[in-house]
Amino acid sequence: MTVRGARRATGAVARLGPGLVLCVVGLLLSRADVVLVGAALAGGLLVARRDLLDVSLAVGTPTTRDDTGDRRLVAPVTLTSDAPATVLVRIASPGADPVGVLVAVDGDRTLTATLPLARTGRVPGFAAHGIAWSDGLDSVALLEDVAPTDAIVLPVARRLEEVPVPQRLRGLSGPHGSRRPGSGGDLRDVHPFAPGDRMRGIDWRATARRSPELDEIYVRRTHATSEAHVVVVLDSRDDMAQDIAAWTGFGEPRPDRPGSLDLARSAAASLATAYLRRGDRVGLVDLGRSRAQLRPGAGERHLRRILHALALARPDHGSVGRTRVPALQAGATVVLLSTFLDDDAAEAALVWLARGHEVWAVDVLPPVGGVLPDGASGLAWRVMRLERALRLERLAAAGITLVDWSAPARDVPGPTPEQRLRMMSRVRPGGRR
């Protein structure tokens, strides 16, 4: 049953009043034209269908749609009615202004609710409320409310032209040259033939030049190739919105402005895509969960696995969290994505550095705006900001490379993340270990 008890709308019944008055006045004055005008007024209601049999309102599962450079959350809103009806639909989504439309329904009618979206992960969909009137606007009923359904929105990878090659490489094959001899592409040296050398590697010209009597045979030896192991560490313990009022629980974060976790997902997806497309191995560790970990892997399938794990990562205040810094594969390069609003992530970075990992720290705190707090809250925010700056300075002093992922949005003078990564890759040639 979708109509929760229809009632007569008094306003529409009052509509009969002027028509009846004109009819009576016309009859009393023997004026047929006045009677006809009165009949026209009352006739509209009498002719219209007055039943309100079965009206339903439903909202489908939300998905995303990419318009030109603009991502939108989209969900179908379906209205069904057996008889012609008028339905006032109110569609709302947390953090956005709701919309209301008075719609004509006769049979099935599908509308599309859309909302600009910059957030990723688990995103709340659309809630719907409705009031239905019969065709004559004389019966009115409340429709059952529709609760919002969450959508899982995958992060979009930003195209990174150049990413730095980690200092430490692993494995016996891969896209990067290493310093070990092996079957790679780059020439290492020309060396006398030794057991284990391949016959195909014999350099007959060098042999003829160096040993005309063919006492020794020379082979061309090449550098082996290897791959980088990159472990993306996501600090999902908090998700800070751009509006500072939302930090303390007042108001919902806006869906068209990315929060810190959205920036972290975007950065992680961009870096993982760049490294995996190049042939390296990428793993994922969630710092906010005690067990969530994807071991380094390669390939498109692994990339999809990472994107889904990123989308599902969110602050879990009921989780115990990690009590120790997670152990990572030896030689892996750590990319730590955090807001660095507390000491835990920074301490973990220093521990990994001490264990011999190369560590890059990516700052994902979004540009903080809105109504900045005053009084004690304002003082707390200023202290927190200074502590964070000191924390980042300490990491830089320890030799950890910092990348500010939200610098362009904050209008901070300095390189964009792409420029910073390009600078890192050019300053340090990488590989060759």
Binding to other proteins (CB under 8 A) within 204-263 occurs at 254-256
Select from 47, 172, 412, 427 the one that contacts other proteins (CB under 8 A).
47
Is residue 69 part of the contact set for other proteins (CB under 8 A)? no
Stretch that binds other proteins, among 130-138, 151-159, 329-337, 398-406 (CB under 8 A): 130-138
Is residue 7 part of the contact set for other proteins (CB under 8 A)? yes
Extended strands (E) in 351-417: 358-363, 401-404
User: Do the bridges between strand 7-8 and strand 139-142 make them parallel or antiparallel, or are there none, so unpaired?
Assistant: antiparallel
Q: Are 106 and 98 in contact (CB under 8 A)?
A: no
Q: Are 240 and 370 in contact (CB under 8 A)?
A: no
The per-residue b/e assignment along 320-346, b for 16 or more CB within 10 angstroms, e otherwise, is eebeebbebeebbbbbbbbbbbbebbb
When the beta carbons of 248 and 323 are compared against other proteins, the nearer one is: 248
Q: What angle do CA 158, 159, 162 make, to 5 degrees?
A: 125
The nearest distance, CB 24 to other proteins, in angstroms, is: 5
- Going by C-beta distance under 8 Å and a sequence separation of 6 or more, which residues neighbour residue 71? 64, 65, 116, 117, 118, 156
The nearest distance, CB 236 to other proteins, in angstroms, is: 25
Is residue 299 part of the contact set for other proteins (CB under 8 A)? no
Select from 131, 325, 353, 424 the one that contacts other proteins (CB under 8 A).
131
When the beta carbons of 37 and 424 are compared against other proteins, the nearer one is: 37
For residue 75, which amino acid is it? A
Q: Are 216 and 209 in contact (CB under 8 A)?
A: no
Binding to other proteins in span 325-384, by CB under 8 A: 370
Q: How far apart are the first and last CA of the chain?
A: 71
User: What would the x/- binding string for other proteins be over residues 134 to 173, using CB under 8 A?
Assistant: -x-x-x-x--------------------------------
Is residue 20 part of the contact set for other proteins (CB under 8 A)? yes
Is residue 21 part of the contact set for other proteins (CB under 8 A)? yes
When the beta carbons of 16 and 298 are compared against other proteins, the nearer one is: 16
Is residue 100 part of the contact set for other proteins (CB under 8 A)? yes
The nearest distance, CB 39 to other proteins, in angstroms, is: 7
CA dist., res. 201 & res. 197, Å (int): 7
